[in-house]
Structure 1
Amino acid sequence: MSSHSMSRRALLGWIGKTAGAGAMYQAMSSLGFAAESTKPGTLKLSGTKKGASVLVLGAGVAGMTAAYELRKAGYKVKILEFNGRAGGRCWTLRGGDTYTELGGATQQCQFAEGNYINPGPWRVPYHHHHVMSYINEFNVPIEPFIQVNYNAYVHSTKAFNGKPQRYREVQADYQGYAAELLSKVINQNALDAELSGEDREKLFESLRHWGALDKSSAYKKSYETSLRRGFKVPPGGGLSPKPEPSELFDQSALLQSELWKYIVNGQDIEFQSSIFQPVGGMDSIAKAFEKRVGDLIEYNARVTSVDQNDSGVTVKYDQQGSAKEAQADWCVCTIPLSILSQIPVTASNAMKTAIRSVPYAASVKVGLEFKRRFWEQDDAIYGGVSYTNLPITNISYPSTKFCDKGKGVLLGGYVWGPNAFEFTSLPPEERIKKAVQYGKQIHPQYEQEFDNGIAVGWHRVPWTQGCYGVWTEEKRKEHYENLCQVDGRLVLAGEHASNLPAWQEGAIASARDAIERLHAKALTTAA
């Protein structure tokens, strides 16, 4: 490879990092968040031995995927589920629903009919092929989820006197100033050694187009810049005022604001269009699975031990105060590691160490219902996400029921890290109160329009005690294969046993991989 091509690659990498997407994508990829999912192949589950049986622990999407496919393959299947419903973290709260967290705090959702919040997964990217495959197979109605709305806000308490700015304004000005600076470098012939003459001309042309630069390669207030960032006086009809370009941000103030950090979110592979949501709530996916395997599920079954020997697996469980046990030839366990690490399990030391080695992320979601959809009516924000440096992190606007005249529900906070631990420590009503207090710094209408809310802190959710499994590169190297191996007659599955943690895609892909390997072992194991 020539030195010229290497230099061009380095230059393009630099441009990506300037825009933020490159650095963000690399960081996300190293942690297993941003990898594109492989397309599902045909499962190799033929030749099942007559009478072979499998116990599946957990009726989340991983457990129900395993049960659905194993029964089709001829296995006798039974599922033990902690809750009185299927779905696990694939969960939707609607008006009339009641939820009790660890510690005993009980919330009753008061949302108006048709409104809801998804405390767990809330989006399905187009390239999550396993989820999309089952959505198609089960005919689950879906609709677009709007991730990027250029008319939403980006906000920092440390910038522009704490006043939120439109996403499009920040993006347009940041791109424009970056393009202008690089154009100056080209004009000073500083890249002659790295670029051919033709490459230099094409780069110069592309920067003018990308950054809306004028003929002198400057980023200045103009009709062209306002086509990107919006007008001070928009074009109208008849004798309405002539269009007037908007003022640009001061270059230094924009750079110092760090608001540009937020504009790359839509460029991450998980958030690129098209993104979908099931119509009426994410639990439509869980209900579609439950419709097909619900007769296999024993609900309200809290697993207390998992034992195995050369001939099979025995699982003890408590069902509303009654001690019970179930036996099978094989076991697929999808219980979150945060819970499984508290249960006696007969397995190799390597697997048990792996189970204990994966911490779970803290996260809080707050659903807020308002008397009217002021974000649409007052601010012209239809779907999308506003970002902030406040503890609530972001505000997500509903991608459904546009222009409805009734009440509307926002995701009023998606809290992570130390802030999530703080929020989780508070009573639910205090979490909601804080979300409203923070949110009104972006939308002053909050205080007057707020009606009711519900807040789920994932470390207080009884069946997970955490949001999702957090892997580091070091932990993956040390424990991941041990966690995913078929250990005797036991195999684990779930988002924690995937390279797509926190996503339903990871859970389903993990389950399919696990049962295929379990089936292969079953075929070669004496009864």
Structure 2
Amino acid sequence: MASERQAPTRRQLFQAIGMIGGTAAIYQMMTTFGHAAETRFDGPPDLSGARKGASVIVLGAGLAGMLAAHELTRAGYKVRILEYQNRAGGRNWSLHGGDTFTEMGGATQHVRFAKGNYLNPGPWRIPHHHRTLLHYCKAFGVALEPFIQFNHNAYVHSTEAFGGAPQRFRSLAADFEGNVAELLGKAIDQKALDARLTPEDMDRLKEALRGWGMLDDDMRYVKGFRSSSHRGFELPPGGGVNGAPRPSDLFPFDEVLKSGVWAQMAFFMNDEFQTTMFQPVGGMGKIGEGFARQVGHLITYNAKVTKLHQDRSGVTVTYADTGSGAVTEAKADFCVCTIPLTVLSQIENNLSAKKNAAIQAVPYSSSVKIGLEMRRRFWEEDHDIYGGHSFTNQQIGLVSYPNNNFFQDGPAVLLGAFANGPGGYHLGGMTPEERIELALREGSVFHPGSYRKEFLSGASVAWSRTPWVMGCCARWNEETRRDHYQELVALEDRVVLAGEHASYVGCWMEGSLLSALDAITRLHKRALEA
């Protein structure tokens, strides 16, 4: 028990518990700002009555652009899509063996993963309540499988706790809950809650704390079979004459607090990260491929938009072929623009000053993802880890274990880093080779005997250095939402914007799709009025 060593002060305890509440409060703030929210989807939009011959040009063949084109085409509009890249999907993307990726600055990576292995540089998981995306995945024949978000047997690492040694999540979480339950039980016995609870309520709460925190009959969190049933045994139960289990030692509570495990406990309760989550079979890029099967014949690839102009007669888009440099004009009655704001802000246009101010007001976050292909699944074979994440306070942020092909022999790809914030910018400033080296060095804290020994090859994507988006996703705050959001999403004459940046579900594919459906519904109404 912690009391046998150095018990945490009341201030330390309240700070730790308060940070759990703080995490929830931050998440609520993120929802308000548009970074996470349960979404609404009532089915495909009703675009009936479209005027014969009415045309729409869509800029960008990401999910928002392709869904807009799909539904507009179904309604009878003549649609054309211009896409900068030589593929559809945008940030919905997977890198497979044989792929090549060149980032800003000229560094080129040749991906050498074995057949079937991949890295998802952008989106990599789908919440169970992102109903729009799930609907169209089913409609477009995109097979999904479970994504294992929460794994009790993965690790939590902090350079500030346990001498820098990682610990199993289950043990840290059990010791945190057990110690908190014991302290709350003492508060009941000391009559600290008399003003809040009836005697019957206090009895019920004590019983609840005993069950939740695995406390003994004296309301103490101690080494024994109860605590080990949550945190794991030193010697697991077996069979026969020597089958009796051996309980495990408890961590000192001050070290548990230092580990920051409460942040992961709160993280897994975030609405977006609760079970069940999904991923496409074969990589996230399968979603983009599924959408492209519906509208691929409408897409002009390698088309770099250089000018957007609208007048009373319609919309004119000027674009250059990225290979030949040939410049072409495309005309339509209306335009759905899904180009990321970081790029759109650099394109000549005659949109209003307020619209351009909104486009330029929203910064994009930076993140770096690194895929590390290993010779064998040592995390499964040696550590009994099947999916989920191990967290660290180092720059890589986490290591995520593959959620497919369990128990198979041969190479497999770990997500060796998902670096955000300062870590994302720092790794973004490195060469691809330097990123791989950092991921190997920092990730070795979890699997020191295997990480470098089993490493085969790696690939990384720094979103701040990705030329067609120059950032990961839009990061609104309270002020920019108040001053610019409604102006950004408003239909201006013949042009409407769509994408995750035009939603309150920012940084998720669901936000892109919902924004597209909303944008084309309003555009259709305008077209009928015209």
- Taking structure 2 as the reference length, the TM-score comes to 0.94
Q: Is the 8 A contact 1:66 1:512 kept in 2?
A: yes
Taking the aligned partners of 2:288 and 2:152, their CA distance within structure 1 comes to 32
More off after superposition, 16-25 vs 446-455: 16-25
- Once the two structures are superposed, the pairs formed by residues 177-196 of structure 1 within 5 Å of their partners are 177-196=179-198
Q: By how many angstroms is 1:175 displaced?
A: 0.7
* Amino-acid identity (%): 53
Q: By how many angstroms is 1:15 displaced?
A: 7.2
Q: By how many angstroms is 1:32 displaced?
A: 2.1
Pick one of 331, 334, 337 that aligns with 1:330.
334
| Counterpart residue identity of residue 335, structure 1 | I
1:474 and 2:476 correspond: no
- Once the two structures are superposed, the pairs formed by residues 182-221 of structure 1 within 5 Å of their partners are 182-221=184-223
For the structure 1 residues 365 and 297, does the alpha-carbon distance in structure 2 shift closer, same or farther, using more than 3 Å as the test?
same
Taking the aligned partners of 1:432 and 1:31, their CA distance within structure 2 comes to 33
In the other structure, the counterpart of 1:159 is: 161
Q: By how many angstroms is 1:192 displaced?
A: 1.6
Over residues 152-179 of structure 1, what are the superposed CA-to-partner deviations in whole Å (9 max), with x where a residue is unaligned? 0000111101110000001111011111
CA RMSD of aligned residues (A): 1.4
Pick one of 396, 399, 410 that aligns with 2:400.
396
Q: By how many angstroms is 1:21 displaced?
A: 5.5
Taking the aligned partners of 1:483 and 1:414, their CA distance within structure 2 comes to 29
Pick one of 364, 376, 382 that aligns with 2:368.
364
Q: Is the 8 A contact 1:21 1:267 kept in 2?
A: no
Taking the aligned partners of 1:91 and 1:18, their CA distance within structure 2 comes to 34
Taking the aligned partners of 1:32 and 1:263, their CA distance within structure 2 comes to 22
In the other structure, the counterpart of 1:81 is: 83
Taking the aligned partners of 2:298 and 2:377, their CA distance within structure 1 comes to 42
- Once the two structures are superposed, the pairs formed by residues 105-254 of structure 1 within 5 Å of their partners are 105-254=107-256
SS at match of 2:408: coil
Over residues 415-450 of structure 1, what are the superposed CA-to-partner deviations in whole Å (9 max), with x where a residue is unaligned? 111221121111111111111111112211111111
In the other structure, the counterpart of 1:405 is: 409
Over residues 288-336 of structure 1, what are the superposed CA-to-partner deviations in whole Å (9 max), with x where a residue is unaligned? 1100100000000000010001110000000121001100000000000
| Counterpart residue identity of residue 290, structure 1 | A
In the other structure, the counterpart of 1:352 is: 356
SS at match of 1:443: coil
Pick one of 301, 314, 317 that aligns with 1:315.
317
Taking the aligned partners of 1:280 and 1:355, their CA distance within structure 2 comes to 35
5+ residue gaps, structure 1: 1-13
In the other structure, the counterpart of 1:377 is: 381
In the other structure, the counterpart of 1:4 is: none
Q: By how many angstroms is 1:258 displaced?
A: 2.2
5+ residue gaps, structure 2: 1-15
Taking the aligned partners of 2:270 and 2:28, their CA distance within structure 1 comes to 10
Taking the aligned partners of 2:422 and 2:453, their CA distance within structure 1 comes to 30
In the other structure, the counterpart of 2:9 is: none
Pick one of 325, 328, 341 that aligns with 2:345.
341
Count of residues in Structure 1 that have an aligned counterpart in Structure 2: 512
SS at match of 1:232: coil
In the other structure, the counterpart of 1:3 is: none
Pick one of 438, 442, 446 that aligns with 1:438.
442
For the structure 1 residues 433 and 280, does the alpha-carbon distance in structure 2 shift closer, same or farther, using more than 3 Å as the test?
same
In the other structure, the counterpart of 1:507 is: 512
Q: Is the 8 A contact 1:20 1:261 kept in 2?
A: no
Q: Is the 8 A contact 1:432 1:454 kept in 2?
A: yes
Taking the aligned partners of 1:15 and 1:137, their CA distance within structure 2 comes to 44
| Counterpart residue identity of residue 446, structure 1 | Y
In the other structure, the counterpart of 1:465 is: 470
Q: By how many angstroms is 1:404 displaced?
A: 1.1
Q: Is the 8 A contact 1:19 1:175 kept in 2?
A: no
In the other structure, the counterpart of 2:493 is: 488
Q: Is the 8 A contact 1:393 1:413 kept in 2?
A: yes
Q: Is the 8 A contact 2:36 2:506 kept in 1?
A: no
Q: By how many angstroms is 1:24 displaced?
A: 4.5
Q: By how many angstroms is 1:201 displaced?
A: 2.4
In the other structure, the counterpart of 1:520 is: 525
- Taking structure 1 as the reference length, the TM-score comes to 0.95
Taking the aligned partners of 1:31 and 1:236, their CA distance within structure 2 comes to 51
Q: Is the 8 A contact 1:156 1:259 kept in 2?
A: no
Q: Is the 8 A contact 2:36 2:504 kept in 1?
A: no
Pick one of 423, 443, 446 that aligns with 1:419.
423
Q: By how many angstroms is 1:199 displaced?
A: 2.6
Taking the aligned partners of 2:76 and 2:250, their CA distance within structure 1 comes to 66
